[in-house]
Chain A
């Protein structure tokens, strides 16, 4: 055996699994398809002309090697057949995965989010409850030095956060007032952006540039907060720019080896236990592609469950131009949140959250802003000056109902190394569409209560997806007939194969960001794996 445990994918789940196992003295191999980025060199925000530079993380997000863009989901809206644009799916190939470009949101799911079937008669209940994860949430928060404030009435009670909440940005202070007029409570977001220096790391600098990769190394992405600790144990072997192509399994049902490729070199690696942590699209893709004579439908797919219940990100947005300069580009990009609706208000609406985004991005840099502002001369200069720092958008994110018919399957088209691409079929339910409508209505009310110069047209993801969070395709459950993994992430029918990514989540957590839950689940699964190997 090459390793005790071989983990495929180094994002939120894979990275956290690796650390937990290394700290328990196990020899871990960690496969990552992308490279290890150097924050002070590779990220464009190191350079004043950043707005005109190609973003290496953006390059690494492109899904051309994963999704068959020819596949379109037909949907019926108000009795008319329509088609959704092919899935747009944001991720990063690089050590740390999508945590390299995330905004650091670190949310514990609300208690009811684990029991939507019991509480609201839709979806499915998780095989575990909040109480099963609470201590793992706390462990993950400590490892990430999460900043936050206790007393959120919409979340379970808890101890203090490892670092204090960030002060609200200028834009959020103003938006808190307008939200209050509508009886909504804008609160400091809980963020894996440490507000104090911990273990010698630089605290968050409020640059607003999280999604370009943190040049300070302040954001608690996996490569900054977790991998160095795992390396210190001496038990971690990193295999970057290496891709897992296929799982090799024989009669016992165990994974005997993982077929890999590094540049053009193909080879096999073996381990006592294999952990899949490639996310809710690549993980089912690998399982489905790893079919053999004994498992002709793919591994873990005896009951045709792999790839089903696909959930993406249901989002509504509303652009605004504020009536004064609130330096909307400064501060943590997602520094505040409204959780008032995370518990559904009625049986026709999914849980959702609202927020305000002030991303630093090329479109809001001085250069891009000037170019995009129409005109020339004195009037142009005045207009550029007058609108800069005022543009932002309000947004709502809802959970999507898990439907068996929303599924990923293998395409007949293959990528450059011969692995079949994915056909993503994902339609919104009537309730999802109703939730979008509710979110847009609430956003409009919020915008109208805010001092703005102009309010743009609301948009949503019904026809054109923009999925930052995907989940559900290898969901956990008690029975192989309606799930892919058990309550500890072990794949049904394969004793040495576990999953620690968002694919195991049966529901999406009422609009909260999934990374902290993925990490808590990963720590729990890692404890289980360590116990199995030490038994």
Chain B
């Protein structure tokens, strides 16, 4: 019986089927979260810490709670200017942390991290102009991402302007 149902594929069809299996498996693999994500480099780890420091969790969700760190890292892959900015900023912030505390940013407590970033943000005239500009840009981006999201609105108890027709669909 089984030999009756056996279908012999042409080489071309075998190739197409094989390709489909490989593509499908790759796609499926990418859909599942890996148990152990690859560790981030120190600089990227610092960038994540900056994100957390800019918008921390308090009585409402913080930037990391809604995945803004992942969004920040994902953008590295296809935005060269963003990539350069993040690496430049991470490096500069770590240098400053080392200069001030003899530790990298991730090892500092929240008070120290906030103080360090605040100083850099306020420092417009020294040799840190580039760092100031980069930090300002990251801050603005995070504010846009966070306060445009439902979590940001909940943080403010902001009611969406009365029932805009297309909001529910477009907002998710």
Contacts and interface: CB of A to CB of B under 8 A. Distances in A.
B148 A376 contact: no
A259 interface: no
A369 B140 CA distance: 11
B58 A378 contact: yes
Nearest to B148: A367
B146 A370 contact: yes
Contacts of B171: 48
A46 interface: yes
A49 interface: yes
B57 to A, nearest CB: 9
Nearest to B53: A377
Interface string A26-56: 0000000000000010000111110010000
A381 B55 contact: yes
B9 interface: no
A377 B164 contact: no
Contacts of B164: 45-46, 207, 215
Contacts of B152: 366-367, 370
B157 A325 contact: yes
Contact of B58 (A47, A207, A370, A381): A381
Interface stretch (A277-285, A290-298, A382-390, A405-413): A382-390
- State the majority secondary structure of interface residues on B: helix
A325 B156 CA distance: 10
Nearest to B161: A207
B117 interface: yes
B139 interface: yes
A366 B117 contact: no
B155 A385 contact: yes
A369 B143 CA distance: 9
Interface string A347-360: 00000000000001
A377 B121 CA distance: 12
Contacts of A330: 159, 161-162
A71 interface: no
Interface in A366-408: 366-367, 369-371, 375-382, 384-385, 388-389
A330 B55 CA distance: 26
Contact of A40 (B121, B165, B170): B165
A122 interface: no
B147 interface: yes
B163 A376 contact: no
Contacts of A310: none
Given A330-B159, A366-B156, A371-B140, A48 B148 contact: yes
A216 to B, nearest CB: 7
Contact of A381 (B56, B148, B158, B165): B56
B162 A367 contact: no
A206 B162 contact: yes
B23 to A, nearest CB: 34
A429 interface: no
A80 B19 CA distance: 84
A208 interface: yes
B156 A385 contact: yes
B156 A384 contact: yes
A97 interface: no
B167 interface: yes
Interface in A323-375: 325, 327, 329-330, 360, 366-367, 369-371, 375
A205 B163 contact: yes
A366 B60 CA distance: 15
B148 A49 contact: yes
A371 B148 CA distance: 12
B95 to A, nearest CB: 19
Contacts of A378: 56, 58, 110, 114
Contacts of B17: none
A40 B166 CA distance: 9
B158 A45 contact: no
B144 interface: yes
A205 B159 CA distance: 13
A206 B114 CA distance: 40
Contact of B165 (A215, A327, A366): A215
Q: Among the interface residues A48, A207, A215, which one has the most CB atoms of the partner chain B within 10 A?
A: A48
Interface in B66-86: none
Interface in B119-172: 121, 139-140, 143-144, 146-148, 152-153, 155-159, 161-167, 170-171
Contacts of A215: 164-165
B143 to A, nearest CB: 4
A56 to B, nearest CB: 17
Nearest to B156: A388
Contacts of B113: 377
B147 A367 contact: yes
A45 B165 CA distance: 10
A527 B112 CA distance: 76
Contact of B114 (A47, A370, A377, A382): A377
Given A205-B163, A388-B158, A47 B147 contact: no
B118 A375 contact: yes
Contacts of A194: none
B93 interface: no
Given A366-B153, A377-B114, A45 B147 contact: no
Contacts of A40: 165-166
A46 B165 CA distance: 7
A94 interface: no
Contacts of A388: 156, 158
B133 to A, nearest CB: 15
Given A46-B165, A381-B56, 10 more contacts: A48-B170, A205-B162, A206-B162, A330-B161, A366-B148, A370-B143, A377-B54, A377-B56, A377-B114, A381-B58
